């Protein structure tokens, strides 16, 4: 009951804040009362608390929400088919930022500027871009248009077993080369040293940290020169290190492991050092789901000669071009990405990867999610920059797959880093040529 | 009724079937052919253009496609060989055990009743590195545990084991039915002529059951390419593409919206399997004529 009152209060606060700030010049939240919105979402941590807040949205607007939550992989396929066919079955979609360029260039999704400029849709100043963490917001844009508002910002963390490193008299590795050395010293004493994604495709989430750290790049000069830049000594070295870490010192099954296997290994006390998504820390430090809550610690991602490059990506909400009720959809998007609603979702569920900067300063939020000293500060810093981690473009899915296979081939020892770099360079060149980036 | 009247009635009866057949088979195949002659990547604007056989040529030049063919050969020949050997052996065992083996028959049949996705999950858990029951068994007898999904050879072995476990019962069932359809008189005649166990098997049972074995083999070969759910669940095509069979590659292409390449792969599979099916059908016909 108390939660319900709090949510209603949050919604009213949002409404009153708009009124107070802009006199009578505010949006009528009930202008689409009686409308039904069809929304596609994924079963991801961000949306754990979505059903509860959706009820508040229905109460605020009189709009009925029908929410379909899919497993991420299946949902992305449904999404692309619905968008490509222009079915108009969904008015709002949750999406992963790397999918945006192809959809935007195909004209399948709606630019949001017209809603931002429309006084009937947005109270002036109501959607404050400066309030969002800037990295995720930048991933919502393509070709100078805004296509979504960010709802989730993820980065990676370095998890390690402090008891095992202490036992060997070692500090957590600060550099990539040190990580290799520490892995050599602690492997199988008493557990495998390293857990990271090996499965082709998903492994790019962590491999790019090594590629960029060693000074490599996927493209010559993203986004100006999209020719591949993978046939280099830096790429070869990054591949060799990543391959050696998982082949020689990795937990069993590393070659086909995705994030779930890696995190389960860590939670069950079967691996000593892990680079994985920082939002998953809530699993590792949950005594009901983890055996290592007292012995696991967090550190910065190891850096290479070319710096530290923690992963980052974003999820957001968009409106399909074929949507039937775009104006009502816009009300939903700006509402669910607003500070109060994001704070509510974070406090109600185990999800802290919010995209409204101010929430990171909220004492209640800090108390709940400051898992280790400096954890939230590092997290915010990693997702708040404008650096490029995924150099997204319309052919990025194919490039991810090709580079992921190259990494996988080095992990199992089929290829050396140098051979894999040369082969994947040719493959990416063919992909980019076929996608029309150059002749 | 006149001949022309019969013909009209015949046409009226046939037309609906013809239309349904056309809609359900010919139209999709024609669309797939059309798709394969283009270069359509759904998320690349302007890519939907006619390129003739370029997609096929690019596929044949692609190392990934050649690797997937190699994986297909491995993951067809090995599981089918084991399924045929195990299925025939079990059928022979149950045939000699007679009606007393009813419980055993049901037990042996159980794996074939489990949906392939569940088979994949089951074996994924049985062989999972951290909780592998199989590895635990190895350790108990002093054998080093195996990283089942860590190397190409081990991952292929894992798929082979799961596929053999799941589909050997199908072979067993067909061959057992074939054995039980052999007239008793032939066995009695063989006994009167002094034939012993192995002679009965090689000279009576095997020749008479051979057409059934061919049918089982045909089904298994055609079905071998449907090993996709096991691969999807157990290895995801890895490590390093070592379990990526051609239909898994086609599936991957579809999920990446590379529609033309996926269509070309599907057609190559379709043509290959059709040719093989026709070949086996002709062999069966020759066999039947020889027996007759």
Closest residue in chain A to residue B49, using alpha carbons only: A434
How many Cβ atoms from other residues are within 10 Å of residue A386's Cβ?
8
The pLDDT, as a whole number, for residue A10 is 54
Please, what's the b/e burial string for A35-53 (b: 16 or more CB within 10 A of its CB; e: otherwise)? bebbbbbbebbbbebbeeb
CA B144 vs. chain centroid, Å, equals: 32
State yes or no: pLDDT of B94 exceeds 60: yes
Taking the C-alpha atoms of residue B13 and residue A379, their distance in angstroms, rounded to an integer, is: 70
Distance from CA of A64 to the nearest CA of B (A): 32
State residue A408's pLDDT score.
94
Please say if the pLDDT value at position A16 is more than 70. no
Average pLDDT score, chain A: 90
State residue B256's pLDDT score.
82
State mean pLDDT over A236-255. Answer: 95
pLDDT on residue A4: 54
Show which of residues 378-437 on chain A sit within 8 Å of chain B, judged by CB atoms: 394-395, 397-398, 401, 405, 408-409, 411-412, 414, 423, 434-436
Interval A371-388 mean pLDDT: 84
Where residue A382 falls among pLDDT bands split at 50, 70, 90?
A: confident
Across B17-42, average pLDDT: 90
d(CA B168, CA B112): 8
Is the pLDDT assigned to residue A176 strictly greater than 70? yes
Q: How far is CA A419 from CA A390, A399, B231, in A?
A: 23, 17, 27
Supply the DSSP string of A270-329, one letter for each residue: --SEEEEEGGGHHHHT-TTT-S-TTTEEEEPPPBBTTB----EEEEEEE-BTT-S-HHHH
State whether A409 and B238 contact (CB < 8 Å): no
Asked if B258 and B41 count as a contact pair (C-beta separation under 8 A), the reply is yes
Closest-CA residue to B212 (of B186, B238, B181, B169): B181
pLDDT in tens, A353-374: 999 999 999 999 999 999 888 8
Would the pLDDT of A65 be above 80? yes
User: pLDDT band at A21, cuts 50/70/90?
Assistant: very low
The pLDDT of residue A90 is 97
Reduced to 3 states (helix: H, G, I; strand: E, B; else coil), residue A338 is: coil
**B52 within 8 A of B232, measured Cβ to Cβ:** no
Could you read off the pLDDT of A288-332 as tens digits, one per residue? 889 999 999 999 999 999 999 999 899 999 999 999 999 999 999
pLDDT in tens, A264-297: 999 999 999 999 999 999 889 988 889 999 999 9
Which of B44, B145, B150 faces A395 most closely, judged by CB atoms? B44
- Indicate the pLDDT class of residue A7, thresholds 50, 70 and 90: low
Chain B: residue nearest A251 by CA?
Answer: B129
Alpha-carbon distance B112 to A435, whole Å?
Answer: 44
Q: What is the pLDDT of residue B207?
A: 86
Of all residues in chain A, the percent with pLDDT exceeding 90 is: 71
Residue of B nearest to A74 (CA): B255
Residue A283 and residue A290: Cα distance in Å, rounded? 7
Residue A5 has pLDDT above 60, yes or no: no
Q: Which of A212, A439, A388, A226 is nearest to A304 (CA)?
A: A212
C-beta neighbour count of B286 within 10 angstroms: 10
Q: B114 pLDDT band (50/70/90 cuts)?
A: very high
Which of A58-62, A326-330, A382-386, B214-218 has the weakest average pLDDT?
A: A382-386
CB contact under 8 A, A106 and B145: no
Q: How confident is the model at residue B9 (pLDDT cuts 50, 70, 90)?
A: confident
SS3 A218: coil
Q: HEC states along chain B?
A: CCHHHHHHHHHHHHHHHHHHHHHHHHHHHHHHHHHHCECCECCCCCCCCECCCHHHHHHHHCHHHHHHHHHHHHHHHHHHHHHHHHHHHHHHHHHHHHHHHHHHHHHHHHHHHCCHHHHHHHHHHHHCCCCCHHHHHHHHCCCCCCCCCCCHHHHHHHHHHHHHHHHHHHHHHHHHHHHHCCCHHHHHHHHHCCCCHHHHHHHHHHHHHHHHHHHHHHHHHHHHCCCHHHHHHHCCCCCCCCCCCHHHHHHHHHHCCEHHHHHHHHHHHHHHHHHHHHHHHHHHHHHHHHHC
Report whether pLDDT(A13) > 70.
no
Contact (CB<8Å) A200/B150: no
How does the average pLDDT of chain B come out, rounded?
87
Residues 6+ apart with CB under 8 A from A262: A195, A196, A197, A251, A271, A274, A276
Residue A403 to residue A228: CA distance in whole angstroms? 11
Q: pLDDT at residue A1 above 60?
A: no
Which chain B residues are Cβ-neighbours of A71 within 8 angstroms?
Answer: none
- Cβ of A199 within 8 Å of Cβ of B236? The answer is yes
Q: Does A265 touch chain B (CB under 8 A)?
A: yes
pLDDT (mean) for B203-207? 85
pLDDT of amino acid A203: 95
Q: Please give the Cα distance from B259 to A13 (Å, whole number).
A: 49
Asked if residue A214 has pLDDT above 80, the reply is yes
pLDDT tens-digit map of A108-143: 999 999 999 998 999 888 888 889 988 899 999 999
Indicate the pairing of strand A92-96 with strand A36-42. parallel
Structure tokens given for A313: 């990506």
Residues facing residue A314 across a β-bridge = A153
**Which residues on chain B are in Cβ contact (under 8 Å) with A251?**
129-130
Lowest pLDDT segment from A213-217, B34-38, B128-132, B266-270: B128-132
Question: How do residues A222-235 score in pLDDT, each as one tens digit?
Answer: 999 999 999 999 99
Cα angle, residue A136 at apex, residues A134 and A142 outer, rounded to 5°: 100
DSSP states along A100-130: HHHHHHTT-B--SHHHHH-TTT--TTSS-GG
pLDDT by residue (tens digit) across A163-172? Answer: 999 999 999 9
pLDDT of residue B8: 76
Task: State pLDDT tens for residues B235-278.
Answer: 888 888 899 999 899 998 988 888 999 999 999 998 988 888 78
Mean pLDDT of A431-435: 90
Nearest residue in chain A measured CA to CA from B235: A256
**Residue A23: pLDDT above 50?**
no
């Amino acid at each position: 009951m108390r939660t319900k009152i709090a949510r209603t209060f949050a919604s009213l606060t949002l409404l009153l804040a708009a009124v107070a700030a802009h006199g009578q010049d505010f949006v009528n939240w009930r202008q689409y009362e009686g409308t039904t919105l069809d929304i596609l979402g994924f079963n991801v941590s961000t949306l754990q608390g979505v059903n509860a807040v959706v009820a508040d949205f229905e109460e605020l607007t009189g709009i009925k929400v029908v929410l379909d939550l899919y497993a991420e992989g299946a949902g992305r396929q449904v999404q692309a088919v619905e968008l490509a066919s222009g079915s108009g079955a969904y008015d709002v979609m949750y999406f992963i930022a790397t999918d945006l360029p192809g959809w935007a260039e195909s004209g399948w999704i709606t630019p949001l500027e017209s809603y931002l400029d429309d006084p009937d849709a947005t109270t002036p100043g109501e959607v404050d871009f400066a309030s969002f963490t800037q990295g995720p917001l930048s991933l919502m844009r393509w070709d100078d248009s805004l296509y979504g508002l960010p709802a989730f910002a993820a980065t990676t963390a370095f998890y390690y077993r402090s008891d095992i490193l202490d036992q060997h008299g070692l500090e957590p590795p600060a550099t990539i080369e040190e990580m290799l050395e520490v892995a050599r010293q602690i492997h199988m004493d008493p557990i495998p040293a390293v857990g990271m994604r090996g499965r082709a495709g998903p492994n790019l989430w962590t491999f790019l940290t090594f590629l960029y750290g060693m000074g490599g790049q996927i493209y010559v000069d993203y986004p100006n020169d999209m020719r591949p830049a993978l046939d280099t000594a830096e790429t070869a070295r990054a591949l060799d290190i990543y391959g050696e870490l998982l082949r020689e010192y990795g937990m069993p099954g590393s070659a086909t492991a995705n994030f779930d296997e890696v995190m389960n290994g860590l939670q069950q006390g079967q691996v000593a050092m892990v680079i994985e998504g920082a939002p998953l820390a809530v699993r590792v430090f949950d005594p009901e789901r983890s055996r290592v809550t007292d012995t696991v610690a967090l550190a910065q991602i190891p850096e290479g000669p070319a710096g530290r490059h923690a992963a980052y990506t974003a999820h957001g909400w968009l409106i399909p071009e074929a949507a039937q009720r775009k104006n009502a959809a816009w009300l939903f998007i700006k509402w669910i990405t607003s500070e109060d609603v994001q704070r509510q979702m974070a406090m109600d569920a185990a999800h802290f990867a919010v995209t409204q900067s101010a929430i990171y300063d909220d004492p209640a939020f800090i108390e709940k999610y400051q898992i280790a000293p400096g954890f939230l500060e590092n997290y915010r810093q990693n997702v708040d920059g404008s650096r490029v981690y995924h150099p997204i473009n319309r052919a990025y899915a194919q490039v991810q797959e090709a580079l992921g296979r190259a990494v996988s081939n080095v992990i199992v020892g089929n290829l050396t880093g140098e051979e894999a770099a040369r082969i994947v360079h040719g493959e990416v060149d063919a992909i980019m040529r076929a996608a029309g980036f150059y002749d | 009724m006149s001949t022309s009247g019969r013909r009209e009635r015949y046409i009226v009866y046939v037309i609906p079937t013809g239309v349904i057949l056309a809609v359900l088979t010919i139209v999709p195949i024609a669309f797939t052919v059309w798709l394969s002659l283009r270069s359509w990547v759904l998320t690349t604007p302007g890519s939907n253009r006619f390129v003739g056989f370029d997609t096929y040529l690019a596929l044949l030049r692609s190392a990934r496609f050649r690797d997937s063919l190699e994986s297909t050969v491995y993951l067809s020949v090995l599981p089918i060989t084991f399924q045929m050997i195990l299925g025939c052996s079990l059928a022979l065992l149950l045939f000699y055990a007679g009606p007393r083996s009813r419980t055993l028959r049901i037990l042996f049949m159980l794996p074939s009743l489990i949906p392939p996705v569940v088979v994949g999950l089951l074996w994924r858990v049985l062989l999972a590195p951290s909780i592998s029951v199989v590895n635990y068994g190895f350790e108990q007898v002093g054998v080093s545990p195996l990283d089942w999904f860590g190397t190409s050879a081990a991952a292929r072995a894992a798929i082979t084991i799961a596929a053999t476990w799941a589909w050997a019962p199908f072979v067993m069932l067909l061959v057992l039915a074939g054995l039980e359809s052999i007239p008793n008189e032939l066995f009695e005649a063989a006994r009167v002529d002094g034939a012993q166990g192995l002679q009965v098997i090689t000279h009576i049972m095997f020749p008479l059951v051979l057409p059934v074995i061919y049918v089982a083999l045909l089904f298994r070969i055609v079905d071998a390419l449907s090993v996709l759910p096991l691969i999807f669940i157990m290895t995801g095509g890895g490590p390093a593409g070592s379990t990526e069979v051609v239909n898994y590659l086609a599936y991957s292409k579809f999920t990446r919206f590379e529609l033309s390449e996926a269509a070309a792969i599907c057609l190559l599979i379709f043509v290959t399997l059709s040719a093989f099916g026709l070949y086996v059908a002709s062999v069966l016909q020759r066999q039947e004529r020889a027996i007759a």
